[in-house]
């Protein structure tokens, strides 16, 4: 679920004072503020409810297994009380006794099975809701890091939302903390804080430095030197970055989108 960005590449906020929240755009186009604190509280509550329902299901299953043959349910107790009060001389056959026992056992089994199914369905619904809230929170953490990045604002010639399209899948959230990944999916560790993961700014600089076409997204990295064209045809491109048509055609869709949306980049033949 993406953030809504304004014309300057910053996340659109909604609310007043300390109640300002980032705006998310749902798949159906609906816009709504995202409350991270409320989401964290909901995740904790849902985890507790899911645990309660799971434990109730396990208790029911254990009780059913302990009374295989004659279940310890309300119907079974009533049947046993009935048998105690019936004059044994009035029972027509021994088969009638077994019939009563079987009916009581079936009733108890069905009751326990129904309770187990209800607990499983509730646990599934809570798990799905928890997964969605966790995903929204992770998107908020990653998207917020891109939107607030000082490195992007000072060093990159592309806005934060385009930078997120290019490098966003290189970050994941584990236990509420941002974990940067290298091209092989391994964590990126800090060069100064040994044994700790690199923070967002440090990791993003590493990713940009390893990016094959980094000169296209860094500010002030336009073509220069003896091989650069300098005639009347490109006089209007002074101070802008240039990308050859061959380089542009070799890019993946995300890179093309980043270059195409940058007014300071010129595609040359």
What pLDDT digit, counting tens, does each position of 82-131 carry? Answer: 766 665 555 556 677 788 888 888 888 888 888 888 888 888 887 787 66
Cα-to-chain-centroid distance, residue 252: 25
Q: Which of 94-98, 156-160, 229-233 has the lowest mean pLDDT?
A: 229-233
Instruction: Decide which of 141, 174, 192 is a domain's last residue.
Output: 141
pTM here is 0.43
Count of C-beta atoms within a 10 Å radius of residue 84: 7
Torsion of CA 100, 106, 108, 114, to 10 degrees: -160
Query: Of the residues 141, 168, 184, which one is the last residue of a structural domain?
Result: 141
| Mean pLDDT score, 154-165 | 93
Asked if 161 and 253 sit in the same domain, the reply is yes
For the chain, the distance separating the N- and C-terminal CA atoms, rounded to the nearest angstrom, is 38
Residue 234 has pLDDT above 50, yes or no: no
Pair (186, 213) in one structural domain:
yes
| Euclidean distance between CA atoms 22 and 13, whole angstroms | 4
Considering only CA atoms, which of 232, 265, 233 is closest in space to residue 251?
Answer: 265
* Owning domain of residue 193: 153-268
Average pLDDT, the chain: 79
Is 179 found in the same domain as 98? no
Task: Output the pLDDT for position 207.
Answer: 95
CB 191 within 8 A of CB 198: yes
- Do 158 and 257 share a domain, yes or no? yes
Question: Residue 231's pLDDT is what?
Answer: 40
| 253 shares a domain with 230 | yes
Please count the other Cβ atoms lying within 10 Å of the Cβ belonging to residue 71.
22
Residues 41 and 124 in one domain: yes
pLDDT for the residue 85: 66
pLDDT bucket at 72, cuts 50 / 70 / 90: low
């Amino acid at each position: 679920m993406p953030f809504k960005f304004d014309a300057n590449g910053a996340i659109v906020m909604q609310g007043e004072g300390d109640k300002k929240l980032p705006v998310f755009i749902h798949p159906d186009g609906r816009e709504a503020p995202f409350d991270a604190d409320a989401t964290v509280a909901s995740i904790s509550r849902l985890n507790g409810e899911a645990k309660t329902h799971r434990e109730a299901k396990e208790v029911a299953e254990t009780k059913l297994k302990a009374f295989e043959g004659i279940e310890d349910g309300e119907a079974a107790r009533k049947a046993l009380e009935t048998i105690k009060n019936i004059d044994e001389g009035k029972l027509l056959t021994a088969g009638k006794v077994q019939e009563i026992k079987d009916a009581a056992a079936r009733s108890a089994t069905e009751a326990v099975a129904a309770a187990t199914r209800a607990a499983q369905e509730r646990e599934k619904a809570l798990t799905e809701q928890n997964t969605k809230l966790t995903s929204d929170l992770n998107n908020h953490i990653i998207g917020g890091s891109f939107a607030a990045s000082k490195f992007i604002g000072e060093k990159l010639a592309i806005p934060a939302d385009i930078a997120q399209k290019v490098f966003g899948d290189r970050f994941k959230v584990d236990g509420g903390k941002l974990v940067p990944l290298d091209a092989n999916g391994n964590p990126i560790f800090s060069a100064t804080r040994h044994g700790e993961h690199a923070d967002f700014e440090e990791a993003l600089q590493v990713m940009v430095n390893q990016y094959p076409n980094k000169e296209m997204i860094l500010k002030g990295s336009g073509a220069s030197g003896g091989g650069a064209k300098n005639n009347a045809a490109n006089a209007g491109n002074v101070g802008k970055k240039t990308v050859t048509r061959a380089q542009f055609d070799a890019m993946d869709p995300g890179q093309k989108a980043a270059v195409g949306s940058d007014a300071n980049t010129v595609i040359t033949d």
